[in-house]
Homo-oligomer: A and B are copies of this chain.
């Protein structure tokens, strides 16, 4: 796919950043739907530079430390927008080790099956609380043209996702208990 390329271009389309900054983005905000390690980011930035989609200027921090601040070029913005307007096919449902275990769970004792589901439910409830507290940083819906609007939509999606997973797990736990 080469999606990392567009993830980087999209972020640099919002503002200029260093490779390190981009790495941090993939660890925080963006991590809900994309991520990459620095070992993948730096070579990709080099390729984007060679292709004229981004450019950088070197800034010096302190006395010796140098960093490369990357900006998107006109050509880069063009390719990014082309990608944004492409048809977006339905994604394959993601692989899930947990669901694989649930699928095979008839191999477990009823008690172990229940533990499997309950432990997972606790973990998702914890993450849900965390996401909900993140959501409070938006006092109201951000204006549609702002970068925050996309942020708002995906965060809302993340919360709804964890809510559905909690509902699903609770339903499975009920089924297991009632069948005993």
Contacts and interface: CB of A to CB of B under 8 A. Distances in A.
Nearest to A143: B179
Interface string A47-68: 0000000000000000000000
A95 B34 contact: yes
A167 B160 contact: yes
Contacts of A112: 84-85
Interface string A87-118: 11111111111111111111110101100100
B10 A104 contact: yes
Interface stretch (A15-23, A37-45, A149-157): A149-157
A63 to B, nearest CB: 37
A102 B3 contact: no
Number of copies: 2
Contact of A149 (B14, B106, B145): B106
Contact of A96 (B33, B101, B144): B33
Nearest to A33: B99
A119 B176 contact: no
A80 interface: yes
Contact of A150 (B93, B102, B144, B154): B102
Contacts of A143: 179
Interface in A1-37: 1, 3, 6-7, 10, 13-14, 30-35
Given A90-B124, A106-B150, A153-B172, 19 more contacts: A10-B104, A30-B103, A31-B92, A32-B93, A33-B99, A84-B104, A88-B97, A88-B98, A88-B120, A91-B97, A91-B98, A99-B154, A106-B145, A141-B179, A144-B175, A144-B180, A153-B175, A157-B168, A160-B164
